[in-house]
Copies of this chain bind each other. A is one copy, B any other.
């Protein structure tokens, strides 16, 4: 019963450690996953390569992708478009890879609405103290930026219960292992195995 991959959306508080978790997950279990690559109209930064960090597109190209429904979701921040190209995701899912989209909450909920089988994972530290510590600990942010992130976290917390699972990032290695196990477990959901169930029903009826 080799199956299609699962579309996974990962969101979470800024400072919760999403990036580190994704990196470690792909180091350990890279062959199981594909990280979705976003398309954007912003200019490449030094060192960024087309098709690695982003698919870099002109505004005209991007708006054509919107019009032709080639994006699973998209949003506009400030001057630029960001979106998830459908073709790459579809291709990887068909190969049996679980495709991870790291996007913010509004995008996540849109994806779930369009594709109800999407698995929504929300990454959170084990406490608000820990969240503040991590934001402070970076040492690169002003008090003002930290406060603004905490306020944003407060807004985001309102949507935690719309996610399927909470990924509690306490100890990194445990957290990565747990996330991987949750995803492996999801492959055994009955509703993701209707082909197998139909096969068993049919075979047993023929007995």
Contact = CB atoms under 8 A, between A and B. Distances in A.
Given A151-B207, A154-B205, A185-B185, A190 B178 contact: no
A132 B165 CA distance: 38
A179 B59 CA distance: 48
Nearest to A181: B181
A165 B188 contact: yes
B128 A161 contact: no
A165 B196 CA distance: 12
A154 B204 CA distance: 5
Interface residues of A, number: 42
A33 interface: no
A197 B161 contact: yes
A166 B193 contact: yes
A186 B154 CA distance: 25
Interface string A183-202: 01110111101101100110
A94 interface: no
A167 interface: yes
B150 A168 contact: no
A154 B206 CA distance: 9
